[in-house]
Amino acid sequence: MTPRKCPWYITAHAVRRYLAIVGRADDDGPEFDRAEEELMQVAIDTVGSGRQPRRLGSGLLQYRGPKPRRLMMVVSDAERPEGPLPQLVDVGLAHAGMRRR
């Protein structure tokens, strides 16, 4: 689902959560594609910043994204048959108290 130089595969669930955060319509058309592109850029910026993720009790990784939104991104680095990249599985707002799992 996620091509290019993005460091993670981005799940449809993560895109839909992002659409809800930014207050845009949840559709499978241009808004979805635009949101996926925006999340790809956030992922690139986050990994490129050198920020280290937290390992949650569930084994997932939690990253804090750059300003202005400071998204909290939950990433699975478990191996999967779909490919070698980690997978962005959830997105939330850092100041919304996204809990560690």
Helix (H, G, I), strand (E, B) or coil at 61: strand
Are 51 and 68 contacting, i.e. CB atoms less than 8 angstroms apart? no
The pLDDT of residue 37 is: 94
59 within a domain of the structure (yes/no): yes
Q: Tens digits of per-residue pLDDT, 4-58?
A: 589 999 999 999 999 999 988 888 789 999 999 999 999 999 999 888 999 999 9
To 10 degrees, the CA torsion angle through 68, 72, 73, 74?
A: 180
Domains of the chain: total = 1
76 within a domain of the structure (yes/no): yes
Enclosing domain of residue 91: 9-96
Question: Tokens 């790809």 identify what position?
Answer: 40
